[in-house]
């Protein structure tokens, strides 16, 4: 069977670089049938690496059916196989491949919150193992991005470096560039984000900045940390719609006092925004500050896996922190929202301009 060489390259990146599969490891491959070409390529690559691939190919409609017919025990307790997989897997590769990105837009957000809370312990276990998240181009994602499928495929494979002759070397080069930024941020105490309708201050004292270089998110291209939980003061208006759990929330504006969201508004799906903020006590605090560094991702496509990496942007995540940053906020929510600093914005670190108008200062 003839396969697009970029798909074969992406499979090799995921297996040999992102999760670095080893002989006899149990590695799950999760996707919908739309991603079959990439699943088969990754399956073959895992076998060549000596790993045991476990393919879980679920029709996209199963999620919609689940929320329509689930009983209380389905929402509140993961089943035995889910628990066993979280215990026994050595790693996972999840391939986003939805044929309809709005399929869950009418689901009761309270049900989604219940499932998120119930599965949080399992997700935390998987976060401590090898994992990678990527996307296979479908018509639905192309439509969200206002692109043809062919143009969107070109965009995805360029962003993941799968169109390069030596994609793994390209990711290693990006990793070295980002490590220089991490060294500059070592020991930082205070961060201030300014821009149109935005003036937000955070403490990062004692926190660690992480080089996100494609070993988890593919594509990647960011450095991130967990802000001090009670430090956020000020307000921020996010420039792009935020998509979460099948919904699009537009023109989000948040006001923080002592680290807590005290005011929240949106021009679309504000009720859903408030429901997510009320998910649990940690949902109104910040779990992440990320700085996008991938200037090859130059446009907003309504997919956070790509959008949060746009060079010249920052993103803040409400909810769960990552332990490796020193963050301590716990929540079933982790919701990234993007602020574009390329036109009139700046990121200040300890009072000095670190980035202005989307470009890093020397």
Mean pLDDT, range 182-186, rounded to an integer: 97
C-alpha 341/C-alpha 343 separation (Å) is 6
Residues 26 and 152 in one domain: yes
Q: What is the pLDDT of residues 152-167, one digit of tens each?
A: 999 999 999 999 999 9
Q: What is the CATH number of the domain that holds 138?
A: 3.40.1830.10
Residues 155 and 186 in one domain: no
Residues 75 and 200 in one domain: no
Residues 61 and 182 in one domain: no
Number of alpha carbons in the 13 Å side-chain half-sphere of residue 112: 19
pLDDT of residue 298: 85
- Using the predicted structure, report yes or no on whether residue 318 has a pLDDT greater than 90: yes
Alpha carbon separation from 162 to 97, 136, 179, 222, 336 (Å, rounded): 17, 12, 22, 18, 25
- Using the predicted structure, report yes or no on whether residue 1 has a pLDDT greater than 70: no
Mean pLDDT, range 190-216, rounded to an integer: 97
Which two three-digit tokens encode residue 338? 């993007």
Q: Across all residues in the chain, what is the average pLDDT?
A: 96
Residues 234 and 296 in one domain: yes
pLDDT of residue 72: 96
Residues 178 and 38 in one domain: no
Residues 282 and 349 in one domain: yes
Residues 64 and 182 in one domain: no
Within 10 angstroms of residue 141's Cβ, the number of other Cβ atoms is 27
Residues 277 and 139 in one domain: no
Q: What is the pLDDT of residues 89-110, one digit of tens each?
A: 999 999 999 999 989 988 998 9
User: Which of 148, 165, 182 corresponds to the end of one domain?
Assistant: 165
Residues 150 and 198 in one domain: no
Residues 13 and 147 in one domain: yes
Alpha carbon separation from 100 to 142, 197, 224, 292 (Å, rounded): 11, 33, 30, 27
User: Which of 143, 165, 187 corresponds to the end of one domain?
Assistant: 165
pLDDT bin (cut points 50, 70, 90) of residue 244 is: confident
Give the chain's domain count. Answer: 2
User: Which of 130, 165, 200 corresponds to the end of one domain?
Assistant: 165
Q: What is the pLDDT of residues 18-35, one digit of tens each?
A: 999 999 999 999 999 999
Residues 250 and 300 in one domain: yes
Give the pTM: 0.89
Mean pLDDT, range 237-264, rounded to an integer: 93
Range of the domain at 40: 5-165
């Amino acid at each position: 069977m003839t396969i697009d060489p970029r798909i074969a390259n992406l499979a090799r990146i995921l297996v040999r670089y992102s999760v670095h599969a080893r002989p006899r490891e149990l590695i799950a491959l999760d996707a919908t049938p739309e991603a079959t070409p990439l699943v088969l390529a990754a399956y073959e690559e895992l076998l060549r690496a000596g790993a045991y691939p476990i393919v879980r190919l679920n029709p996209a409609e199963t999620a919609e059916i689940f929320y329509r017919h689930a009983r209380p025990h389905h929402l509140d307790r993961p089943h035995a196989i889910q628990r066993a997989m979280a215990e026994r897997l050595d790693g996972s590769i999840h391939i986003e491949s939805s044929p309809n990105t709005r399929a869950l837009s009418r689901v009761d957000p309270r049900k989604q919150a219940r499932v998120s809370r119930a599965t949080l312990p399992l997700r935390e276990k998987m976060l401590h193992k090898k994992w990678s998240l990527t996307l296979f181009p479908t018509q639905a994602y192309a439509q969200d991005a206002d692109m043809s499928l062919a143009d969107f495929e070109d965009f995805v494979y360029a962003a993941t470096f799968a169109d390069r002759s030596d994609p793994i070397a390209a990711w290693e080069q990006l990793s070295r560039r980002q490590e220089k930024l991490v060294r500059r941020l070592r020991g930082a105490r205070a961060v201030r984000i300014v821009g149109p309708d935005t003036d937000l201050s955070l403490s990062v004292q004692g926190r660690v900045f992480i080089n996100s270089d494609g070993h988890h998110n593919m594509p990647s291209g960011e450095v991130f940390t967990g802000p001090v939980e009670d430090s956020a003061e000020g307000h921020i208006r996010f420039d792009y719609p935020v998509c979460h759990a099948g919904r699009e929330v537009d023109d989000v504006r948040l006001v923080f006092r002592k680290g807590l969201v005290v005011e929240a508004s949106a021009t679309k799906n504000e009720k859903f925004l408030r429901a997510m903020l009320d998910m649990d006590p940690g949902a109104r605090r910040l779990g992440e500050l990320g700085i996008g560094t991938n200037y090859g991702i130059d446009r907003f496509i309504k997919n956070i896996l790509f959008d949060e990496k746009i060079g010249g942007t920052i993103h803040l995540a409400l909810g769960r922190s990552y332990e490796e940053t020193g963050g301590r906020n716990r929540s079933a929510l982790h919701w990234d929202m993007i602020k574009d600093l390329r036109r009139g914005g700046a990121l200040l670190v300890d009072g000095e301009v670190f980035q202005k108008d989307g470009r890093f200062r020397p």
